Structure 1
């Protein structure tokens, strides 16, 4: 079974400025300070092929996952990571991909704001379909709000 969830939020900075955070490993570093136990870079420098280990807080149902940066398109401001170990893969999922997109805000002709979109795509084995309730966009919405506050405070 395949599914996806997504959410968009308005960011009160230009798309280029937002991409300087959303398109890089800095986004994970901000998450580690606020919502995670820690993030460890296992290989790479933030480009395609980078592998990070995300350690969740003890109260989480998931202790850790390893993510690999599989695509970074700076021209279109899109980045994708896939879980390659742990996380939802331990619950019968065969794919968990997180896509981050930053685009100009069509309602703002001044260019002083943009839209950030997070999408979680997943595939789960038939015998584990009951675990799809573990997939939620909420942690990513929280992350986007924290990232947006960081962008506003660093302007």
Structure 2
């Protein structure tokens, strides 16, 4: 069974500026700092934010997994990561993918950050799909929005 959940956050900053954060390793560093209550540990095991980068995440409650950057498209402003070890894969999923899209608006003064989680459950597995949530990535988009829209020196 395949499924997905998504969330959109509007940011009053141009898409190019938002992509500078989302299209780089800076996003992982922001996540580690801004979501420290949820992300207990974040280790960059390989790479610098480009295609093939591998990150190990430990979340509150001991949930731990590794993800690999499988797509970083600077032209379309799309980044995808896939779980490659642990976490939901150990619980019966064959796919756990997160996609971030930075979608520019006509006025170039705002954009949308769309965060999507796609998953696939092994046939016959008794996986509770209510465990799949986009909340962490919605919270990350809010942290990015705050960082990008707060004047320097006042945050």
- Give yes or no for TM over 0.5: yes
For 1:3 and 1:150, the matched residues in 2 are separated by 31
Aligned to 1:113: 110
Aligned length: 149
- Poorly superposed stretches of 4+, deviation over 2 Å: 126-130
Q: How far does the alpha carbon of each residue in 1:4-27 deviate from its partner, in whole angstroms, 9 at most, with x for none?
A: 111111011100000011111211
Contact kept? 1:92, 1:131, Cα under 8 Å: no
2:141 is the counterpart of 1:144: yes
Question: Residue 110 of structure 1: CA displacement?
Answer: 2.9
Aligned to 2:89: 89
Flag the 1:23–1:129 CA change in 2: closer, same or farther, 3 A: farther
Alpha carbon RMSD of aligned pairs, Å?
Answer: 1.4
2:34 is the counterpart of 1:37: no
Aligned to 1:14: 14
Contact kept? 1:11, 1:114, Cα under 8 Å: yes
What is the TM-score with the length of structure 1 in the denominator?
0.90
Flag the 1:151–1:27 CA change in 2: closer, same or farther, 3 A: same
Residue segments in structure 2 that go unaligned for 5+ positions in a row? none
Q: How far does the alpha carbon of each residue in 1:40-79 deviate from its partner, in whole angstroms, 9 at most, with x for none?
A: 111111100110101112xx3x521101000111000001
For 2:96 and 2:12, the matched residues in 1 are separated by 29
For 1:151 and 1:133, the matched residues in 2 are separated by 32
Contact kept? 1:72, 1:79, Cα under 8 Å: yes
Residue segments in structure 1 that go unaligned for 5+ positions in a row? none
